[in-house]
Amino acid sequence: MAGVLLDPAQAVTLEVHGDTEAAVLVPLYVGSDGRAHGVFTRRRDDLRRHPGEVSFPGGQREDADGGLIDTALREAHEEIGLPADAVTIVGALQPTPTMVTGYAIYPFVGVIEPGHVWDPAAAEVAQVIELGLDDLRAGHGLRPITRRGMTFDTDTYVVGDVTIWGATARILANLLALI
C-alpha cells in the first residue's frame, strides 16, 4: 500500500486552502475475514462543530505537537484510545480543505492490528465505527444532505445507518481511488 500513497514528509509540504492546520489518522486493518476495514468516529450530537458527523480521528495541530503526524497520532489516542505505538504510518493522502470551518486537513494512513478495544472520549466521541472498505465503496453515491436548513447534493458513503460526507468523504474517495 505504501507504494501508492504519498510520502508523509512530502505530504506535509503540500499547500491546501485553510487557515488552521489539522491532521487525521486513517486507521486501517485487515480483519479475520481477510477484508480491509477503516476506523471512524461519530461525533456527539451536542457538539458545536460537526455534530453527529462521522469522521476519522483527528483535530487541530497544537504547539506541543512535533509535526502533523504527531497531531494525528495524539488525536487518535485522545479520541479513541489508540496508542501511537500501535500504529504503523504507511503513507499519506492528499491534504483536504474544509469548506465552512477553514481547516487544512492532512490525512495519514496507519495500519493497526484488528480487535482493538476502543476507549472513546466521552466529551467528543459518541461511537467508534469499523467499516469494510468494500462496503464503503459499494455505498458510494451522490445524495442530498441537509445542513443549516440548506439541502444540497454531495458525494456520500452510506453503510447501514452510517453516512459519511464532506471532508471525510473526500479523504475516503482519495484512499479508495489509490487502493
Alpha helices in 45-165 (DSSP H): 68-80, 133-138
In a domain, 149, yes or no: no
- Count structural domains, the chain: 1
How far apart CA 3 and CA 21 sit, in angstroms, is 26
Q: Reply yes or no on whether the pLDDT at 2 is more than 80.
A: no
pLDDT score at 49: 76
Residue pLDDT, tens place only, 80-104: 999 999 999 999 999 999 877 899 9
In a domain, 137, yes or no: no
Say which CATH number the domain at 47 has.
3.90.79.10
Question: Which residues neighbour 45 within 8 Å (Cβ) at sequence distance 6 or greater?
Answer: 51, 52, 126
Mean pLDDT over each residue of the chain, to the nearest integer: 95
Residue pLDDT, tens place only, 111-168: 999 999 999 999 999 999 999 999 999 999 999 998 778 899 999 999 999 999 999 9
In a domain, 41, yes or no: yes
pLDDT score at 11: 95
In a domain, 165, yes or no: no
Q: Reply yes or no on whether the pLDDT at 1 is more than 80.
A: no
pLDDT score at 3: 87
Amino acid identity for residue 18 in this structure: G
In a domain, 172, yes or no: no
In a domain, 169, yes or no: no
In a domain, 125, yes or no: yes
In a domain, 151, yes or no: no
Average pLDDT of 47-57? 87
| 45: confidence class by pLDDT, cuts 50, 70, 90 | confident
**Domain that residue 18 falls in:** 8-132
Is 50 or 144 the better-scoring residue by pLDDT? 144
